[in-house]
Amino acid sequence: MAKEQTEKESPGVRAWAPAVALGWLVPGGGHLLLKKTGRGVLLLVAITAMFLCGLMMRGTMFTPQGEDLLTVLINWGGWVGDVCGGVLYLMTVWLGYAQPDVAGHVHDYGTKFLVTAGLLNLLAMVDAFEIARGRKS
């Protein structure tokens, strides 16, 4: 009974899924869909800038591979972070970006910028989810 009441009160998947999906594809897209224009534009600019800086620093994209546990965790974790970048990641891969992992602090920062851009987009997706569910304004 209580469960039914909770389900009636909280919006269903159709309320939040488009915002979360668009939020993954386009950084800040979920917020824009939910008419939070100012926040959506800020997220779009900040996350895209971070991703582009990572590319201009010639950061490496992770690929899901590895043999020992630590390497698997690093590569798979980094790959998930990269994929969270949405269309930025997809376009980069489609356009054939394949920077090898080379020594140097600029490349290293670039790799971190690319992964962090994806992880920040994940935070934006969670925020869009909470707004769509009515938990946040």
Partner 1 sequence: MPKMNLSHFEAAFLFSLLVSVVLGVVTKNTDRERLHYGVYTFVCFLLALFGIGWLMYLGHG
Positions in the binding site for partner 1 (CB under 8 A): 39, 42-43, 46-47, 49-50, 53, 55-58, 105-106, 109-110, 112-113, 116, 120, 123-124, 126-127, 136-137
Q: Which is nearer to partner 1, 39 or 66 (CB)?
A: 39
- The number of helix segments (H) and strand segments (E) in the chain equals 7, 0
> With contact defined as beta carbons under 8 Å apart, do 125 and 23 qualify?
yes
Minimum CB distance to partner 1, residue 109 (Å): 4
Residue number, 83 or 124, with CB nearest to partner 1: 124
CA distance 135 to 39: 17
To partner 1, the closest distance from the beta carbon of 24 in angstroms equals 14
Q: Tell me the C-alpha distance between 45 and 50, whole Å.
A: 8
Nearer CB in complex with partner 1: 66/97:
97
Q: How far is the CB of 131 from partner 1 (least distance, A)?
A: 10
Residue 135 to residues 9, 124, 127, Cα–Cα distance (Å): 12, 14, 9
> Least distance from C-beta 3 to partner 1, angstroms?
28
CA 38 to mean position of chain CA atoms: 19
Q: Of the two residues 72 and 98, which places its CB atom closer to partner 1 in the complex?
A: 98
Q: How far apart are CA 121 and CA 72, in angstroms?
A: 23
